[in-house]
């Protein structure tokens, strides 16, 4: 098989059909970071249990994998759910947030290096989303987007948030004067971002009362924020769908 066997937890980011019965899976693993795997035979129609369901985007799995650092595509020997969601795949609103979160993670995680803190954050927010109350859901994607940026070093500087009336999206700092470029926020949007930065756990989200139009604008602002700091970020496909579902 050309590699050593390891056990690791993984979050599925993307799945592509390969051949008649197989899948190529992109996963963020706890042990190796971003990895691609060939999973053979999981789409055979004769199987009683459709194993391919384990590889839906957002799935939390326990894997036994072959690892060779020189291979771009390794293999999965065994797999099972590490957590079975209650309604994350079936609830329309939660699933829309899930797909947004997974797309944002895909666009930001580009290197294979492991990061146990990032893995823990992603796993934690997925578990929180599955158990989230109706009151937590509206602001959940905003919470995720703000806090994910910490792991890539361009999060808004909280030390400047008390006095700055503008958020300079290019520099990631709150400023007292209008930045000399168009990439900034002001007014209620800046205030909302400051409030989001204070939220440390999804259970605090119901206290953040934001009208739909502000949440919609914040999603667009945060997408622009990421595009300024992540090379080849492109356009988010799931943002528009999420904005419609969350209305």
Q: Which domains does the chain have, with CATH numbers?
A: 4-83 (2.40.50.140), 92-245 (1.20.1440)
Least confident of 38-47, 159-168, 227-236: 38-47
Least confident of 66-75, 92-101, 215-224: 66-75
Give the strand pairing for 74-83 and 60-67.
antiparallel
pLDDT of res. 48: 54
pLDDT of res. 206: 95
Q: Which residue has the higher pLDDT, 55 or 2?
A: 55
Given pLDDT bands bounded at 50, 70 and 90, which one contains residue 83? very high
> Percent of the chain beyond pLDDT 70?
96
Least confident of 19-23, 48-52, 122-126: 48-52
pLDDT of res. 46: 61
Given pLDDT bands bounded at 50, 70 and 90, which one contains residue 111? confident
**Residue 49 predicted with pLDDT over 80:** no
**Residue 116 predicted with pLDDT over 60:** yes
Comparing C-alpha atoms, which of 99, 109, 196, 101 is closest to residue 185?
196
Q: In 3-state terms, the chain is what percent helix, strand and coil (to 5)?
A: 40, 25, 35
Give 59: exposed, middle or buried? Use CB within 10 Å, 0-12, 13-18, 19+: buried
Given pLDDT bands bounded at 50, 70 and 90, which one contains residue 11? very high
pLDDT of res. 44: 77
Query: Two tokens at 228?
Result: 């300024």
pTM: 0.93
Query: Two tokens at 56?
Result: 């839906």
Checking 89-93 for CB contacts under 8 A at 24+ apart, the result is: 89/56, 89/58, 92/245, 93/137, 93/245, 93/246
What is the C-alpha to C-alpha distance for residues 247 and 239, in angstroms, rounded to an integer? 12
Q: How many residues does the chain have?
A: 247
Comparing C-alpha atoms, which of 211, 210, 209, 239 is closest to residue 227?
239
| Mean pLDDT computed over 212-221 | 95
Give 235: exposed, middle or buried? Use CB within 10 Å, 0-12, 13-18, 19+: exposed
pLDDT of res. 243: 87
Given pLDDT bands bounded at 50, 70 and 90, which one contains residue 148? very high
Given pLDDT bands bounded at 50, 70 and 90, which one contains residue 29? very high
**Residue 161 predicted with pLDDT over 80:** no
């Amino acid at each position: 098989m050309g590699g050593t066997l390891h056990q690791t937890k993984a979050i599925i980011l993307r799945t592509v059909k390969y051949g008649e019965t197989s899948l190529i899976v992109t996963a963020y693993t706890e042990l190796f970071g971003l990895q691609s795997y060939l999973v053979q035979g999981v789409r055979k129609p004769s199987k009683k249990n459709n194993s391919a369901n384990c590889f839906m985007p957002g799935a939390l799995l326990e894997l036994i994998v072959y690892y060779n650092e020189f291979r771009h595509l390794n293999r999965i020997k065994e797999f099972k759910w590490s957590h079975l969601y209650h309604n994350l795949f079936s609830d329309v609103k939660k699933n829309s947030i899930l797909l947004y979160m997974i797309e944002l993670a895909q666009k930001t995680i580009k290197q294979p290096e492991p990061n146990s803190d990032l893995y823990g954050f992603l796993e934690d927010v997925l578990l929180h989303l599955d158990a989230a109350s109706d009151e937590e859901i509206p602001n959940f994607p905003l919470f995720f987007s703000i806090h994910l940026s910490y792991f890539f070093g361009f999060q808004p500087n909280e030390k400047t948030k008390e006095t700055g009336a503008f958020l300079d999206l290019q520099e990631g700092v709150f400023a007292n004067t209008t930045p000399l470029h168009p990439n900034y926020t002001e007014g209620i949007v800046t205030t909302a971002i400051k409030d989001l930065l204070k939220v440390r756990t999804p259970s605090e989200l119901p206290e953040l009362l934001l009208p739909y139009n502000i949440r919609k604008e914040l999603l667009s602002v945060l997408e622009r924020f990421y595009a300024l700091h992540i090379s080849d970020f492109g356009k988010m496909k799931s943002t528009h769908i999420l904005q419609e579902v969350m209305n």
